Structure 1
Amino acid sequence: MTHADTALPVSLDRDDATPLAVQLADALREAAASGHLRGGDRLPSTRALAGRLGVSRTVTSAAYEQLHAEGWIAGRHGSGTYVTTPPSFSASEVPAPAVPAPESEAPSLLDLGPGTPWADGLDRAAWRRAWRAAADPDPLVRAHRAGLPEYRAAVSEHLLRHRGLAAGSVLATGGTTAAVVELAAAVLERGDVVAVEEPGYQRAVQAFRRAGMRVVGVPVDDEGLRPDAIPAGARAVYCSPAHQYPMGSRLSAARRVALVERARSSAMLVIEDDYDGELRFDVAPLPMLASLAPDVVAHLGTTSKILTPTLGAGWMVAPEAITSAVLAYRDSTGTRPSPAGQRVLYEFARNGDLGRHLRKLRREMAERRTLLAGALAGAGIPVRGDDAGAHLVVPFSSASVEASVISAAERRGIRLDGLARHFAGEPSAHGVAIGYAGCGREALVAALPTLVSLLR
C-alpha cells in the first residue's frame, strides 16, 4: 500500500470558468486512469487536501463525492480514502484492435486444420496431479542448460518404449521449432545450404532463413523425401520421415538407407523432426533415422502434439559434437528451455500417466481416422497419407479449386488448411490437410456430411 499525500498531480486554475470541484475531480480521475495513482493508493483527507490546495473543504468534498459515485475511489471506515482499480470500460468505449488476432475468429469455426493435439483427451485428474507434484521441489537456484536430469531420464525411457530409440544423451528443448533455431545458430553458418521438404514445415524454413541459411526445397512423394534431389553441397537436410508434414507419407526403408548414406558421404547433418511419430496405427513404425545413423542425425521430438503446447517441452538426441555446440550456444546467450514444463512432464510420466495417455490417444486417433477416411472414401473422395498421425490430405486438381473449397468451408463454419501455405516456393500440389484431433468427436461426426458435400 502506498501513500499519495505528497505526490498528487493536481493544479487548479482559478481563472477557468470550470468549477474548482470539477477541475479537482478531473485531475484525480486522469491521475488514476494514467497510472500515476494506482489501486490501493491512499488519498489525503478532504480537510488536508483543501489546506494544501488553498480551497474550501466544500470543493474537495464535492470532488471526492463525484469520484466515489463513479467508482474511482472508496472510503474505508477509520482508515481513509483509497484509489480503487480504474472502472472497466463498456464494450462501446474500448477501441477495437487495429489487427484482430486470428484466435478471435476461432470459436465460430470448427477447426479441422492439422497440428492441433487432442488436449480434451488428457485425464484432468492426472494432469492436475502432475502439476501439483511439479511444484513440490524447491525452486531452482541455477539453470540446467541441458535440461533437468529427471526430465531427460523420462524422455530417454519414453523414446526407448515408444520409439525404439536407445538415446545415449538427451537435451531438453522448448520444442522442435526452438530446437531448429538453436541448431541453425549453434551448428550451421550463414550462407549454408539447407535442404527442406517441399511442401514442408514452414516455421522451420523461416528459422533457417532468418539465421542466414540458403533454403532449397526437395520434392516429396508417396515414399517421402527424395534423397536423390538433395542439392550438392547441402550442409543439412530437415525432414519428417515418420509422418511427412503435411502430405502424410512415410519415408520408405530404401530412402532411409539412401539418405543416411548420402549424409555420411557428404558430411551432411540430417535433422529428423519426429513431431508425432508415436501415432502409428497400421504397422510398427520403421526404425528412426537416429537409430540407423546416430552419428549424422539430430533427432527432435515434442510434447506439443501428443499432449499439449502448454508444457513448451521437447527434446534433442544428437551426436556429441552437435549437443556440445548447442550447450555452448546456450551458455553464450543465456538461453535455455523452461524447466517448468519439464517438471510436469516428468511427473506425468513417473506415475505411468504418459503411457496410459498415449495408448488412449492412439485408439482415439485410429478410430477418428477410420471415421473420416471411411466417409470420404464412401463418397469417392481420394485420400493421401499413411494410416498414422492426426491428419490426412485430400488432393485437388488446381489452386483455384483449393481456394474455392477453403472459402466455401469457412462459410459453412469449418476451417480447412490448404496445401499452398506449406510450400516455400511455387506450389506444385493442391488440396487440403484435414486434422481430426483438435475438435470433439461428436463435432467431427456432425461435420462429416457437410465436409463430404464440400469435398465431393
Structure 2
Amino acid sequence: MSESPALPVTLDRRSATPLAVQLAEELRTAAADGRLRSGDRLPSTRALAAQLKVSRTVTAAAYEQLHAEGWIAGKHGSGTYVTTAPPGSPTARPRRAKPAAEDEAAVDLRPGSPWAGGIDRSAWRRAWRGAAEAAPMLRHQRAGLPAYRAVVAEHLLRHRGLRVRAEFDESGEGESVLATGGTTAAVAELAATVLRQGDTVAVEDPGYQRAVETMRAAGLRVVPIPVDANGLLLDAVPAGAKAVYCSPAHQYPLGRRMSAGRRVELVERARREGWLVIEDDYDGELRYDVAPLPLLAALAPDVVVHLGTTSKILTPTLGAGWLVAPPAVVSAVLEHRESTGASPSAAGQLVVVELARNGDLGRHLRKLRRELSERRALLVRALTDGGVAVIGDDAGAHLVVPLDSAETERDLIGRARARGLVLDGLARHHCGKPTWFGIALGYAACSRKQLHEAIPELLEVFTGRVRSSG
C-alpha cells in the first residue's frame, strides 16, 4: 500500500452544497477515475481538515459517507485507505474491499466470540500433550468419550446446578448426556431425528440465525416469535408447534434472561401441548450479579433438550459441545449417528478432559468471569456516563445499545468501521421482519487494551444517535 500525494480536492465555499458532501464527491470521483488507487492511504481527518482549512467535522462526515459506500476502509492504529479500484480500468484487477472483520488491525466488538486470549498457554499446551497420550481409537464412539461426558456432568453440576448421571460407558444407551460438535451441530441432529420435514418450530426473534438456517435446511417450518424483557412471548407460539427453541439464560442477542414465571409457563405448556423445548444455554456460565435461574432441563427433563458448548467459555478450536435430553431423544440421536456414520470429533473432547483433570478448566472459568465482569463494568460505565443507554443483564460477553431504526443502525456500523471498529446490528438477527434495532457490543474477542482504546471512538460514534432505552 502506498501513501497518496496531496489529495486532488477543490471545495467551493460559496456553493449551497455542504462542504462534507462536496469533499465526499471529490474523493469519490478521484477514486473512480484512477487519480486515487486501491491501497492509497488517505490523510487523517485532522490532517485533511488542516490542509483544506475546514473543521474536522467536515472531513469526518465525508470519510464516514465514503466508508458506508465501500470506497474506503479504516484500519485501527494504521489509517484510512482507498479500497476500490476505478471501474473498467484495464490495469486494475476486479477486487472487493477486504471486510473489516478480516482486517487484523480492526477491533472486533461483535458478540459471539470467546476470550480466547485469556486461555493460559501453558495449560493449553499441557492439555494437548496429555490428549496426545491417548491411544489411537479403533472405532468411533457415537455417544462421545465417557471421560468427556463425565467432565460435562461435573461441569453442569458445579456451574449450572443440573444433576445428571455421572457414570458413562461407550454405548451411551440409557444415559442423558451426549457429546456434540457444538450447538448448531446438535440442532442439525435434532432436526434430522426427533423432528420431521414440515414440522413447525417456534424460535425467538431476534435470535440465533445459524440455528434458524440449520432448521430451515432440514425442511422445518420456522416461525419467529417476538421477545420482551421476560423472554419469548408464549401466546404467539402457533397451534401445532412441535418444538420451541430459546436461549433463556442470556437471550441472544438482546442479553436478557427469561423470567421465572415465563419458564414455568413454558414447560407447563410444553407438557400440555407436546412441545419439545430446545434450551440453548448461551453464556449460561457467565453471570455476574446473582446466581442464574434454574435450567429448563432441571425444571422439566422430560420435555427439554439442553444444549451447551465449549466454544464460548474456551474456543471454537475444540469443536466440543454437549446435549442433555430425555432417553427417547438420546436414543434417536445415537441411532442416527450409527446409521449415518456421524460422530463428534474426539480430539477436542480429549483436550477438555485434560484441562479438567489438571484443574485448568476451573481456573480458566473463574478468571473468565472476573475478566468479563470487569470489562462489562468498564464499558457500561463509560457508555452511560457518556449518555448512551444500554440494555441487557449483568451477564455474558455482550451488551446492547438500542437504536430507533435500521437506517440509524447501518449508519453507526459504517461510522464505526471507518474508525477500525467492527460492530454488529440487531436487525440481521431476525428471521421475520426486524422489530429491534441497535448495536450488540461484544467485549470478549478484543484485548483489554483494545477495549480501552475503542471506548472514546465508540462514544464519538454513538453521541447524539442513541434513543432512550425506555
TM-score by length of 1: 0.78
Which residue of 151, 155, 167 corresponds with 1:158? 155
- CA deviation after TM superposition for structure 1 residue 350, in Å: 1.0
Deviation per CA, 1:13-67: give whole Å up to 9, x if none: xxxxxxxxxxxxxxxxxxxxxxxxxxxxxxxxxxxxxxxxxxxxxxxxxxxxxxx
Letter paired with 1:417: D
Q: Which amino acid aligns with 2:190?
A: L
| 1:64-213 → structure 2 map (5 Å cutoff) | 105-168=102-165, 169-213=176-220
Equivalent residue in structure 2 for 1:283, among 280, 285, 290: 290
Following superposition, the deviation at residue 383 of structure 1 comes to 0.5
Distance 1:214 1:358, change over 3 A: same
TM superposition shift of 1:104 = 7.3
Give, in whole Å, the separation in 1 of the partners of 2:136 and 2:312. Answer: 28
Note if 1:335 corresponds to 2:342.
yes
Residue equivalent to 2:303: 296
SS of the counterpart of 1:428? coil
Aligned pairs (5 A) from 1:53-68: none
CA distance in 2, matches of 1:379, 1:229: 37
Residues 126-156 of structure 1 deviation map (CA, whole Å, 9 limit, x = unaligned): 1110000000011000110000000000100
Structure 1 counterpart of 2:102, one-letter code:
E
Aligned partners of 2:100 and 2:106 also within 8 Å:
no
SS in 1 for 2:113: coil
Q: Indicate the residue corresponding to 2:48 in structure 1.
A: none
Q: d(CA) in 1 for partners of 2:101 and 2:443? A: 21
Q: Deviations over 1:215-260 (max 9, x none)?
A: 0011111111122221111100100000000000100000000000
C-alpha contact 1:376 1:382 (8 A) present in aligned 2: yes
| Count, aligned residues | 362
Give SS of 1:108's match. coil
> Residue type of the partner of 1:324?
S
2:259 is matched by which residue type in structure 1? S
Question: Amino acid of the residue matched to residue 253 of structure 1?
Answer: A
1:322 aligns with 2:319: no
- SS of 1:439's equivalent in the other structure is coil
Closer, same or farther in 2 for the Cα pair 1:104/1:201, shift >3 Å? closer
Corresponding residue to 1:373 among 368, 380, 393: 380
Q: Is the Cα contact below 8 Å between 2:111 and 2:424 reproduced in 1?
A: yes
Contact 2:100 2:417 in 1 (8 A): no
Instruction: Give 3-state SS (helix, strand or coil) of 2:103's partner.
Output: helix
Work out the CA distance in 2 between the residues paired with 1:182 and 1:212.
13
Structure 2 counterpart of 1:116, which letter?
Answer: S
**Counterpart in the other structure of 2:454:** 447
Structure 1 residues 350-382: Cα deviation after superposition (integer angstroms, max 9, x where no partner): 111111100000000000000000001101111
Amino acid at match of 1:350: R
1:318, CA displacement in angstroms?
Answer: 0.2
Aligned residue for 1:287, secondary structure, equals: coil
Most deviating of 186-195 and 96-105: 96-105
For residues 341 and 99 of structure 1, do their structure 2 counterparts lie closer, same or farther at Cα, with a shift above 3 Å needed?
A: farther
Tell me, in whole angstroms, the C-alpha distance in 2 between the residues paired with 1:97 and 1:118: 36
Larger Rg: 1
C-alpha contact 2:423 2:441 (8 A) present in aligned 1: yes
**Structure 1 residue 101 displacement after superposition:** 7.5
Distance 1:186 1:340 in 2: 25
What is the aligned partner in structure 2 of residue 428 from structure 1?
435
- Give the corresponding residue for 2:370: 363
Is 1:224 the counterpart of 2:221 in the alignment? no
State the SS of the aligned residue for 1:195.
strand
Are the aligned partners of 2:101 and 2:422 in contact in 1 as well (CA < 8 Å)? Answer: no
Whole-Å separation in 2 of the counterparts to 1:228 and 1:98: 49
Residue equivalent to 1:394: 401
In the TM superposition, structure 1's runs of 4+ consecutive aligned residues that sit over 4 Å from their partners are 95-104
Question: In structure 2, what residue type is equivalent to 1:336?
Answer: S
Q: Distance in 1 between matches of 2:266 and 2:163?
A: 21
Shift of 1:106: 2.8
1:379/1:98 CA distance change after superposition, 3 Å: closer
Structure 1 residue 275: Cα displacement? 2.4
**Structure 1 residue 97, shift from structure 2 partner:** 9.5
- Select 2:390's aligned residue among 383, 388, 396: 383
Q: Does 1:215 align with 2:212?
A: no
Q: Does the 8 A contact of 2:225 with 2:237 survive in 1?
A: yes
Alignment partner, residue 51 of structure 2: none
2:255 maps to 248
CA displacement 1:63-97 (0-9 Å, x = unmatched): xxxxxxxxxxxxxxxxxxxxxxxxxxxxxxxx989
SS in 2 for 1:217: strand
1:69 corresponds to = none
Q: 1:152 to 1:100 in 2, by over 3 A?
A: farther
Distance 1:98 1:207 in 2: 31
8 A Cα contact 1:176 1:275, kept in partner: no
Query: Structure 1: which 5+ residue stretches go unaligned?
Result: 1-94
Inter-partner Cα distance in structure 2 for 1:359 and 1:108: 29
The one-letter code of the counterpart of 1:162 is H
Partners of 1:455 and 1:432 in 2: CA distance: 10
Task: Give the residue type in structure 1 aligned to 2:350.
Answer: R
Identity of aligned residues (%): 66
Partner Cα separation in structure 2 for residue 216 and residue 122 of structure 1:
38
| CA root-mean-square deviation | 1.5
Measured in 2, the distance between the counterparts of 1:191 and 1:275 equals 27
**Aligned equivalent of 2:11:** none
**SS of equivalent to 2:384:** helix
Question: Partners in 1 of 2:101 and 2:190 — Cα distance?
Answer: 34
The alpha carbon displacement at 1:455 in A equals 1.1
